[in-house]
Every structure is written in C-alpha cells, then in structure tokens.
C-alpha cells in the first residue's frame, strides 16, 4: 500500500511538473503573441499616421518655394509690370488696428476665405465675440488705416516713405485659390444666394430658356459663358494675378485657400498671434451639406463642353501659369502642381496670349498706381 501511495505521489509530481512546464510554455507563447500583436498594431498605427501625413501634407507647399515659383514664372512670361526698384499695391490692404503689435498686412482677395481671415483679424484686435457673431467684416472702418503705416515710416525716415518702405516691417500675406473652384464659389455666393431665380440678365443672353426651375448646373454653364465672354463682370469673378499684384508686391507669404488651415499657424507665428484658432469655412460650419469640393465642382462643371472649358482656361490663363494651379482633369486638382508640364497644358493658350482684361468702371476696385522707391 505504501508503495502504491509512493508511486501515486511520484506520478502526481511528474504531472505537476509537466503542468508547470505547460503553463510556462503557454505563457511564453501568449506573451510572444501579445508582443507580436503589439508590434503589428504599432506598425499599423505608424502606417496610418504616415498615410494621414501624406494626405494632409503632400499638397502643402513651403512658403518660399511658392514665392520662388511665382517669381520665376512672372519673369519667364514677362508679367512683371513694374521696373526694378518699384512695387505695385494690391487691390485692398487690411491691417489690424493694433498693427504695431501684430505687424500684419493682409491683401484681401475675394472668394478665397477673406471673410474668415477678416474675422481672425477682428479677434486679433480684441473682439470677444464668437466667430459666428462677428458680422460685416468687409467694412474697412473696422480696421486700422493703411495710411498710418506710411505716416509712421515717413516720421522715422524724415521724409515721405515709399510703398516698400512703409510695408517693410510687416508680414505681408494674401490668399489665392484655384480659379475653377473660386469661380464656382463666386457663382454660388453672388448669383444663387443673392437672387431669387439664381439668374443674372447676361445669363439669359447666353441661354434664353433658363428659368427658376433650371438646374444649378444649367445656370452655371450660362454664367461661365457670360463671364468668359465679358458679358458678366464683377471683381469676384476676375483673374487674381493682376489685381493681387502677385508679381509686383513683396509678399512674405501667399497662402492657398485649399490649405489655409494648415498654413495659418505660420502667419500667427510671424504676427504675434499664435493663441487664436482660425475660423472655420462655410463647409466647416455645415452650410454646404458636407459635399466635397471635388464632388460639387465636378457636378457643376458637368454641362460645360470642351470648347467653353478651354475658353475658361484662357480667361484665367495667368492664374494657372504663374501660380501652378491644376486643371479640373488633373489628379492633383484643386491643389498646386509644380510638376505639371505648363507648356503642354497651356502652351497653345500662351501662344495666342489669351489674357482677357475684365475691368469695367464701377465694378473693378481701383488698383493703386505703381509706387517707386
């Protein structure tokens, strides 16, 4: 009996040892699998971060790279309109009332997010209200006087200051936008939203069959033809390069509407204004029903044929060529594309010099004359 008990004890010990080894092996395997899983998860997270980084950053251009590209194109295509040592003033300059503190000069370009930028400047000036309560931002009386910059420079120099001398201490910025989406934004804002029918008289000259029940795409097609043929003129619909003087004004940064939210921090850093968030766009505020820019643009341009589209590219030729914006059929649309073959995309239009001047008294803001140093 004793022997039997001893044998049982031995067997039990062996089983116990085996189970211990089994538990250790299982734990090791579990720990190994857990480490492998953690490694896979980490790698996946890094890949996702990298993918997101590429998605968000691939279209964001270095500010000096963009300025250099513009200067190169302006020189190449003879679009400098001033002599060396001269400068030209953009269409509308806005400075905050507390410009001595923030050192910002903003040239306002319509339909590029200028309302958001001006709300940001209002906050910079100390307006305590939420962004959605800041109204009438285009009233120039809300901001500092540009002449005060000239007066300060003149007092310092002991003589009348030139444009470049007055602007030199400030961080000078503007915002530009792909002409295709900019024109669509102008149509939606200034035609669809501000008229009961969504139709302006020149559009009926193009398509007499338009009615209030016509689709937005049908109305837009008539609008585009009226614009490029010079029948419908308004500074919201005109090319940007000349009125914003991108070749002739010493900008420190030219932002793009497509990537402003990613670039605005740079402006804040140079203007002592890093503590303020930038206001959301109309889409961010839910006013465009969450429709993507590309999806909406393709829908509106669906009724515009190749001939009219080519006229449109001709109308905005220098916005594309000088700034490097992409056409609607470019995979990089609506972003800048410095790698595109400009001569291939726009060569025929450049040769025929399709560069329409669309100023008309009373509709185009006055551009200040060239100012010499």
Residue 35, domain member (yes or no): no
Q: What is the mean pLDDT of residues 49-74?
A: 76
Distance CA 69, CA 34 (A): 51
Domain of residue 295, residue span = 61-372
Number of structural domains in the chain = 1
Question: Is the distance from CB of 241 to CB of 322 less than 8 angstroms?
Answer: yes
Mean pLDDT computed over every residue of the chain: 84
Question: Is the distance from CB of 111 to CB of 193 less than 8 angstroms?
Answer: no
Residue closest to 316 by CA, chosen among 192, 228, 248: 228
Distance CA 303, CA 210 (A): 14
Residue 20, domain member (yes or no): no
Q: Is this structure's pTM higher than 0.85? A: no
Residue 4, domain member (yes or no): no
Axis-axis angle for helices 216-228, 293-300 (nearest 10)? 80
Q: What is the pLDDT of residues 108-153, one digit of tens each?
A: 999 999 999 999 999 999 999 999 999 999 999 999 999 999 999 9
Residue 169, domain member (yes or no): yes
Axis-axis angle for helices 306-315, 216-228 (nearest 10)? 50
Q: What is the mean pLDDT of residues 33-37?
A: 46
Residue 80, domain member (yes or no): yes
Distance CA 171, CA 212 (A): 46
Residue 16, domain member (yes or no): no
Residue closest to 241 by CA, chosen among 79, 92, 21, 65: 79
Question: Is the distance from CB of 176 to CB of 242 less than 8 angstroms?
Answer: no
Q: What is the pLDDT of residues 188-211, one digit of tens each?
A: 999 999 999 999 999 999 999 999
Residue 18, domain member (yes or no): no
Residue 111, domain member (yes or no): yes
């Amino acid at each position: 009996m004793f022997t039997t008990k001893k044998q049982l004890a031995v067997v039990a010990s062996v089983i116990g040892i085996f189970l211990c080894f089994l538990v250790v092996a299982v734990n090791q395997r579990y720990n190994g699998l857990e480490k492998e899983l953690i490694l896979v998860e980490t790698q996946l997270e890094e890949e996702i971060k990298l993918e997101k980084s590429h998605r968000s950053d691939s279209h964001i251009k270095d500010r000096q790279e963009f300025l250099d590209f513009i200067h190169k194109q302006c020189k190449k295509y003879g679009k400098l309109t001033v002599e060396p040592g001269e400068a030209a003033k953009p269409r509308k300059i806005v400075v905050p009332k507390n410009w001595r503190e923030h050192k910002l000069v903003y040239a306002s370009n319509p339909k590029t997010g200028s309302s958001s930028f001006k709300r940001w400047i209002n906050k910079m000036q100390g307006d305590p209200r939420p962004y959605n309560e800041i109204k009438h931002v285009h009233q120039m009386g809300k901001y500092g006087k540009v002449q005060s910059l000239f007066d300060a420079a003149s007092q310092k120099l002991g003589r009348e200051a030139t444009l470049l001398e007055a602007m030199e201490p400030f961080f000078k910025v503007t915002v530009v936008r792909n002409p295709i989406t900019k024109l669509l934004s102008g149509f939606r804002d200034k035609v669809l939203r501000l008229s009961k029918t969504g139709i302006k008289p020149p559009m009926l000259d193009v398509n007499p069959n338009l009615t209030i029940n016509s689709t937005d795409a049908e109305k837009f097609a008539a609008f585009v033809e009226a614009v490029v043929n010079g029948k419908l003129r308004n500074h919201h619909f005109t090319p940007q390069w000349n009125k914003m003087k991108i070749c002739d004004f010493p900008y420190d940064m030219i932002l793009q509407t497509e990537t402003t939210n990613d670039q605005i921090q740079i402006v804040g850093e140079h203007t002592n204004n890093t503590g303020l968030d930038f206001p959301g766009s109309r889409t961010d505020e839910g006013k465009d029903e969450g429709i993507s820019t590309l999806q909406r643009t393709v829908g509106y341009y669906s009724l515009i044929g190749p001939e009219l589209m080519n006229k449109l590219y001709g109308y905005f030729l220098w916005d594309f060529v000088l700034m490097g914006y992409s056409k609607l059929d470019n995979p990089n649309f609506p972003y800048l594309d410095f790698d595109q073959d400009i001569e291939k995309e726009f060569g025929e239009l450049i040769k025929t010099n399709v560069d329409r001047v669309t100023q008309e008294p009373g509709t185009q803001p006055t551009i200040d004359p060239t100012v010499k140093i």
